[in-house]
């Protein structure tokens, strides 16, 4: 198969794979009427019954709301990515990651069991890592991917602890069963730790201040990934969690104050930073921070309007932001740059993309007739209805939206209308599979703007009712009459227009402000990461300095110290009393056994003193073989067989390596002090093992365990060789762990050998 033919097949397969999100979208859409009526589907699998963990799913209004967003955008992103990545050598891998991410995300929003939710949560983190680092040959991609993984991964661990504490407080892992116990949790002593850990998880995932810095860096990912993961779905995982846990943990002053403050800071920070950016995707990334901040801030509320506003704005944001990211990808793909200073006059060349961007930007700016306008109206209604700090919430929402309006203006005017002639080379519109996505997503913003009440009834209300059951009904409409939200909208648009007109001075001011700040959280992250690296380097230099001698030293020393310590701690009455319990039972060994022992000792002495490599290897082999004989004589044929075989192989492997090395005579003879240390350590290890064997309460054969295995080996496991039956059946799980170690050691060893080969 030629390269073009195979890339053709991959493209077809990838295009066909878009049927997966599409099918799921329609399936979910058909469930909407039942869910809007207040029903919910449940489904559970036993997962780890011994830990009381069931893989239970709950499919309710909130789930279907997210499922529709994920699959709907997922469909267009898949179609888009086929053309975007056409000709890339690793397309197959990309689509695997993309769909695996999508399924993990679906699992996340449908999981009812906290442990299941956690697993899906971590899976989205992992696939996000793989997708950000998709261009793994670029250093920047790898660095950003690692940053995102470490930040969100750390949050994931916090979340795990939080879920474990919640289980302690309620006795269940199922979130739906925690809900009736909400009052108990809120008064429980663990409430505050739980809350802090949940916030850590949600804030890292949803890029809230001060964990926001990974998101703009994640723009190293291909455009479809940014559109899908880092604007519409994955980063919404954190706010999803806050919404899902709202009935369990929400409504307390700690919850409300934290969310409103953090959300407000993130929203303002993102909005202000966005204005100073020149990279199209960076601009969008910072406005995404704003969007996430506003949703967080609204989820801090306790009243119906603010929660409805959170879900409405989430939908608004997902629609316009994914459209904008996809459009930014088209601009990049067709012109070769994302720098808005070098773009201009693209309206004629990219008519469909321009139409999509205009629709999305007007929704983002919140102009009347667009869904964004409705989102903003309800947002102000929500912030004014916050129980805690409505003033701060409303101020930051207006302030951030003002900046967003200005940014929307820049995004529309700069690349598409102004600055004609900035691009010298001819630019052609992308294929239909690329522009259809942004156009439909942007157009949906207009469509939803014309039928807001339908959207409210079928999508928003069921989602809110799932986590905030209330009789109230919020009517989404274009015009509610002259009221405070409308006035605030006016203020916002005026502010946005003024900012747009004076954008040059505003950007200068922001740059000056950024210089004043002493340190940002990205620097703190770098500082911490470097610190860990330095500590690791220093310890490695001490205990693993590359000399095999040092390694053996460390291992033997650790063994002596740890084993000795456990003996001293373990015996209640002290080590010496344990000794006194041993009755001296000194007998001469049987003659044949004595002969074997003598042989072993002699061989050991030979290994130490010989100068010939071959003799040393052979003597080592004799020691092993002698031990095997002792095992055989003591009635352990299996052990003896294995010991003998391992010895044989060791001799062969050592022979392959050592025969090629120079003779030991040519080696430098160790210093006297070194020899003394070696001797001391050898004696210590020998004494330790002697001690262990002496203190081991070795019962006579035929103890309880032996009897169990003797009785059950044939009956239960159809085998007469007890040792083997234990290995492959009774203790199969242990064996599995051991052979995984064997495989990992082999692969690690090969990597080391191959690396040496490449170096030389």
Partner 1 sequence: MKPSLILKTATRLLAGMILVFSVYLLFRGHNAPGGGFAGALVAATGFAMVAMAEGAASVRQALRVDPARLMAAGMAMVIGSGLLSVFTGSPFLTGHWWQISLFSDMHLTIGTPFFFDLGVYAIVLGGILTLILALEEEMEMG
What residues make contact with partner 1 under the rule CB under 8 A? 637-638, 641-642, 645-646, 648-649, 652-653, 655-657, 659-660, 716-721, 723-725, 727-729, 732-733, 735-736, 739-740, 742-743, 745-747, 749-750, 753-754, 756-757
Q: Measured from the CB of residue 631, what is the shortest distance to partner 1 in angstroms?
A: 11
Q: Which two tokens stand for residue 668?
A: 């430098």
C-beta separation of 153 from 118 below 8 A: no
Give the count of beta carbons closer than 10 Å to the beta carbon of residue 501.
12
Q: Measured from the CB of residue 726, what is the shortest distance to partner 1 in angstroms?
A: 10
Which candidate, 130, 375, 396, places its Cα nearest to that of 259?
396
Q: Measured from the CB of residue 480, what is the shortest distance to partner 1 in angstroms?
A: 57
**Residues 6 or more apart from 234 whose CB is under 8 A from it?**
101, 105, 124, 128, 205, 228
Based on CB atoms, which residue is closest to partner 1, 446 or 655? 655
Q: Measured from the CB of residue 50, what is the shortest distance to partner 1 in angstroms?
A: 9
Based on CB atoms, which residue is closest to partner 1, 694 or 736? 736
Based on CB atoms, which residue is closest to partner 1, 562 or 646? 646
- Name the DSSP class of 231: I
The C-alpha atoms of residue 354 and residue 337 are separated, in whole angstroms, by 16
Q: Which residues of 264-275 are buried (b: 16+ CB within 10 A; e: fewer)?
A: bbbbbbbbbbbb
Based on CB atoms, which residue is closest to partner 1, 339 or 729? 729
Based on CB atoms, which residue is closest to partner 1, 278 or 650? 650
Based on CB atoms, which residue is closest to partner 1, 154 or 654? 654
C-beta separation of 347 from 417 below 8 A: yes
Q: Measured from the CB of residue 757, what is the shortest distance to partner 1 in angstroms?
A: 5
Q: Which two tokens stand for residue 466?
A: 């799932």
Q: Measured from the CB of residue 692, what is the shortest distance to partner 1 in angstroms?
A: 25
Give the count of beta carbons closer than 10 Å to the beta carbon of residue 135.
15
The C-alpha atoms of residue 361 and residue 408 are separated, in whole angstroms, by 5
C-beta separation of 650 from 638 below 8 A: no
The C-alpha atoms of residue 749 and residue 752 are separated, in whole angstroms, by 5
Q: Measured from the CB of residue 645, what is the shortest distance to partner 1 in angstroms?
A: 4
Q: Measured from the CB of residue 628, what is the shortest distance to partner 1 in angstroms?
A: 12
The C-alpha atoms of residue 587 and residue 255 are separated, in whole angstroms, by 74
Q: Measured from the CB of residue 738, what is the shortest distance to partner 1 in angstroms?
A: 9
Based on CB atoms, which residue is closest to partner 1, 179 or 627? 627
The C-alpha atoms of residue 538 and residue 143 are separated, in whole angstroms, by 22
DSSP string for 5-23: HHHHHHHHHHHHHTHHHHH
Phi, psi of 599 (to 5 degrees): -60, -45
Based on CB atoms, which residue is closest to partner 1, 570 or 732? 732
The C-alpha atoms of residue 66 and residue 310 are separated, in whole angstroms, by 13
The C-alpha atoms of residue 44 and residue 94 are separated, in whole angstroms, by 31
Based on CB atoms, which residue is closest to partner 1, 694 or 750? 750
Q: Measured from the CB of residue 133, what is the shortest distance to partner 1 in angstroms?
A: 24
Q: Measured from the CB of residue 318, what is the shortest distance to partner 1 in angstroms?
A: 38
Based on CB atoms, which residue is closest to partner 1, 653 or 677? 653
Q: Measured from the CB of residue 589, what is the shortest distance to partner 1 in angstroms?
A: 24
Q: Is 750 exposed, middle or buried (0-12, 13-18, 19+ CB in 10 A)?
A: exposed
Based on CB atoms, which residue is closest to partner 1, 184 or 738? 738
Based on CB atoms, which residue is closest to partner 1, 479 or 708? 708
Give the count of beta carbons closer than 10 Å to the beta carbon of residue 664.
14
Q: Which two tokens stand for residue 184?
A: 């108990």
Of all helices (H) and strands (E), which one includes residue 450?
helix 432-450
Which candidate, 239, 109, 251, places its Cα nearest to that of 175?
109
Percent composition of the chain: helix, strand, coil (DSSP 3-state, to 5)? 75, 5, 20
């Amino acid at each position: 198969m030629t390269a073009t033919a195979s890339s053709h097949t991959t493209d077809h397969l990838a295009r066909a794979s878009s049927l997966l999100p599409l099918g799921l979208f329609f399936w979910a859409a058909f469930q909407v009427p039942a869910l809007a009526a207040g029903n919910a589907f449940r489904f559970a699998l036993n997962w780890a019954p011994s830990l009381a963990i069931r893989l239970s799913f709950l499919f309710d209004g909130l789930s279907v709301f997210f499922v529709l967003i994920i699959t709907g955008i997922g469909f267009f992103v898949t179609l888009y990515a086929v053309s975007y990545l056409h000709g890339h050598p690793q397309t197959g891998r990309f689509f695997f990651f993309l769909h695996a991410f999508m399924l993990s995300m679906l699992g996340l929003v449908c999981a009812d069991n906290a442990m299941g939710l956690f697993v899906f949560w971590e899976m989205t983190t992992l696939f996000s890592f793989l997708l950000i680092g998709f261009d793994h040959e670029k250093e920047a991609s790898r660095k950003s991917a690692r940053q995102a993984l470490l930040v969100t991964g750390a949050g994931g661990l916090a979340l795990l602890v939080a879920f474990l504490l919640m289980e302690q407080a309620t006795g269940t892992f199922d979130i739906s069963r925690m809900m009736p116990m909400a009052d108990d949790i809120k008064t429980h002593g663990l409430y505050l730790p739980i809350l802090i850990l949940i916030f850590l998880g949600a804030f890292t995932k949803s890029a809230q201040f001060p964990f926001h810095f990974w998101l703009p860096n994640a723009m190293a990912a291909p455009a479809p990934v940014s559109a899908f993961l880092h604007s519409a779905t994955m980063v919404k995982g954190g706010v999803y969690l806050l919404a899902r846990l709202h009935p369990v943990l929400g409504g307390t002053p700690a919850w409300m104050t934290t969310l409103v403050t953090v959300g407000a800071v993130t929203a303002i920070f993102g909005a202000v930073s966005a204005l100073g950016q020149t990279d199209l995707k960076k601009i969008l990334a910072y406005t995404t921070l704003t969007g996430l901040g506003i949703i967080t801030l609204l989820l801090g509320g306790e009243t119906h309007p603010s929660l409805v506003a959170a879900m409405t704005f989430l939908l608004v944001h997902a629609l316009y932001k994914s459209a904008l990211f996809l459009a930014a990808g088209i601009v990049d793909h067709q012109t070769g740059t994302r720098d808005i200073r070098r773009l201009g006059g693209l309206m004629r060349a990219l008519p469909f993309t321009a139409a999509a961007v205009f629709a999305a930007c007007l929704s983002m700016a919140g102009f009347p007739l667009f869904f964004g306008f409705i989102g903003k109206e309800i947002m102000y209604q929500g912030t004014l209805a916050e129980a805690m700090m409505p003033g701060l919430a409303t101020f930051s929402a207006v302030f951030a939206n003002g900046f967003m309006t200005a940014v929307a203006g820049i995004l529309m005017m700069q690349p598409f209308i102004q600055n004609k002639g900035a691009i010298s080379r001819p630019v052609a519109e992308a294929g239909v599979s690329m522009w259809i996505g942004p156009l439909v997503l942007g157009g949906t913003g207009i469509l939803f703007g014309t039928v807001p009440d339908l959207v409210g009834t079928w999508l928003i209300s069921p989602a809110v009712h799932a986590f905030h059951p209330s009789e109230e009904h919020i009517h989404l409409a274009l015009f509610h009459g002259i009221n405070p939200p409308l006035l605030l909208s006016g203020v916002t648009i005026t502010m946005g227009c003024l900012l747009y007109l004076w954008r040059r001075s505003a950007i200068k001011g922001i740059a000056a402000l950024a210089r004043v700040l002493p340190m940002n959280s990205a620097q703190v992250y770098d500082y911490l990461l470097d610190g860990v690296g330095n500590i690791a380097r220093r310890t490695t230099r001490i205990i693993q300095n590359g000399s095999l001698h040092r390694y053996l030293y460390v291992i033997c020393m650790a063994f002596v110290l740890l084993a000795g310590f456990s003996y001293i701690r373990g015996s209640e009455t002290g080590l010496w009393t344990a000794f006194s319990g041993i009755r001296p039972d000194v007998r001469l060994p049987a003659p044949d056994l004595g002969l074997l022992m003598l042989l072993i000792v002699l061989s050991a002495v030979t290994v130490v003193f010989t100068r010939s490599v071959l003799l040393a290897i052979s003597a080592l082999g004799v020691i092993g073989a002698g031990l095997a004989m002792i095992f055989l004589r003591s009635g352990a044929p299996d052990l003896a067989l294995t010991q003998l075989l391992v010895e044989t192989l060791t001799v062969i492997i050592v022979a392959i390596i050592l025969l090629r090395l120079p003779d030991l005579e040519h080696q430098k003879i160790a210093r006297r002090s070194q020899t003394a240390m070696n001797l001391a350590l050898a004696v210590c290890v020998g004494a330790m093992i002697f001690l262990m064997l002496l203190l081991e309460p070795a019962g006579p054969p035929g103890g309880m365990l032996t009897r169990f295995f003797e009785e059950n080996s044939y009956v239960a496991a159809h085998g007469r060789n007890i040792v083997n039956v234990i290995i492959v059946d009774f203790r199969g799980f242990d064996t599995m762990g051991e052979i995984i170690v064997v495989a990992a050691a082999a692969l690690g060893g090969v990597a080391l050998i191959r690396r040496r080969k490449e170096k030389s």
